[in-house]
C-alpha cells in the first residue's frame, strides 16, 4: 500500500484508486499462492481413516495438516470478505466443516473406485494422479481435471468416475456462508 501523499488533488480519489488497484493485485497474488499451497497439501500421501490406536506420528501429521488447511481456509475467507467489503470473525465451524467435507469427498471417490475398479483391455488398470475437483455449494461438479497422471487410460477412468459420482453433497451451512465453491486437490492411487 502506498503512503505517499497525493499531490495536486484534495479529494483523495487518485490515492484511493491506486490503493484499490494495489490491493486487487495483492489479492490475486495471495490467491495464486493459496492454490500452490493447496496443490502441495494434495500431493501429500493420504492418511488412513483415524483410529483410536493410531501411531503418534500419524496423529501428529493429521493435526499439522488440519492446522495448515485451517490456516489456508482462513486466508481464503479473509480474502473473500475483503473483496465483498465484509469484516467478520472467522467461522471456526466452517473450517471444521471444510475438512470433514473434503474427507467425505475423498472417501466417496475411493469407494467408487473400489466398487467399479479401473480396467483396461480386461485387465486391472493401476495408476496414480492428482484429481482436482471444483464443487459448487449445491454439490454440483463444476469441473474435474487431473495433474501428473501415470497414464491416459487412468486419467480418463478417474474423470469418468468423478462425473459419475456427481453431484456431491451440498455444503454445510457455515461452509456455504463463506464459499460459493471449493477446489479440492486429492491424490488418487490404485494398485490392485
- Residue 119's pLDDT is 86
- Residue 179's pLDDT is 80
Backbone phi and psi for residue 181, each to the nearest 5 degrees, phi listed first: -160, 165
* Residue 31 placed within a domain: yes
Domain that residue 73 falls in: 18-47+56-118+125-190
* Residue 153 placed within a domain: yes
Q: Report yes or no: 180 and 136 within 8 Å, Cβ to Cβ.
A: yes
Q: Report yes or no: 144 and 132 within 8 Å, Cβ to Cβ.
A: yes
CATH number at residue 137: 3.30.1150
Over residues 52-86, the pLDDT tens digits come to 788 888 878 877 887 787 778 878 877 777 777 65
* Residue 106 placed within a domain: yes
Of 136 and 22, more confident: 136
* Residue 98 placed within a domain: yes
* Residue 154 placed within a domain: yes
- Specify which of 10-14, 19-23, 40-44, 146-150 reaches the highest per-range mean pLDDT: 146-150
- Residue reference for cell 499451497: 37
The predicted model gives 27-42 an average pLDDT of 80
Over residues 7-31, the pLDDT tens digits come to 233 444 444 455 556 656 777 787 7
* Residue 1 placed within a domain: no
Please give the tally of structural domains in the chain. Answer: 1
Q: Which residues 6+ apart lie within 8 Å of 41 measured at CB?
A: 65, 68, 69, 72, 185
* Residue 7 placed within a domain: no
* Residue 165 placed within a domain: yes
User: pTM, whole model, 2 decimals?
Assistant: 0.56
Amino acid at each position: 500500500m502506498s503512503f505517499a501523499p497525493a499531490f495536486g488533488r484534495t479529494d483523495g480519489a487518485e490515492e484511493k484508486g491506486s490503493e484499490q488497484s494495489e490491493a486487487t493485485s495483492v489479492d490475486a497474488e495471495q490467491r495464486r499462492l493459496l492454490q500452490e499451497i493447496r496443490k502441495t497439501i494434495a500431493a501429500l500421501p493420504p492418511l488412513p481413516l483415524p483410529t483410536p490406536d493410531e501411531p503418534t506420528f500419524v496423529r501428529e501429521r493429521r493435526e499439522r495438516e488440519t492446522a495448515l488447511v485451517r490456516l489456508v481456509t482462513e486466508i481464503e475467507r479473509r480474502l473473500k470478505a475483503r473483496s465483498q467489503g465484509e469484516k467478520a470473525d472467522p467461522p471456526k465451524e466452517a473450517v471444521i466443516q471444510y475438512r470433514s467435507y473434503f474427507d467425505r469427498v475423498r472417501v466417496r471417490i475411493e469407494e467408487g473406485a473400489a466398487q467399479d475398479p479401473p480396467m483396461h483391455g480386461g485387465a486391472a488398470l493401476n495408476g496414480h494422479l492428482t484429481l482436482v475437483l471444483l464443487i459448487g455449494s449445491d454439490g454440483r461438479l463444476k469441473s474435474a481435471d487431473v495433474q501428473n497422471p501415470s497414464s491416459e487410460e487412468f486419467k480418463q477412468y478417474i474423470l469418468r468416475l468423478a462425473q459419475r459420482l456427481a453431484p456431491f453433497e451440498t455444503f454445510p451451512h457455515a461452509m456455504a456462508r463463506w464459499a460459493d465453491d471449493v477446489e479440492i486437490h486429492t491424490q488418487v492411487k490404485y494398485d490392485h
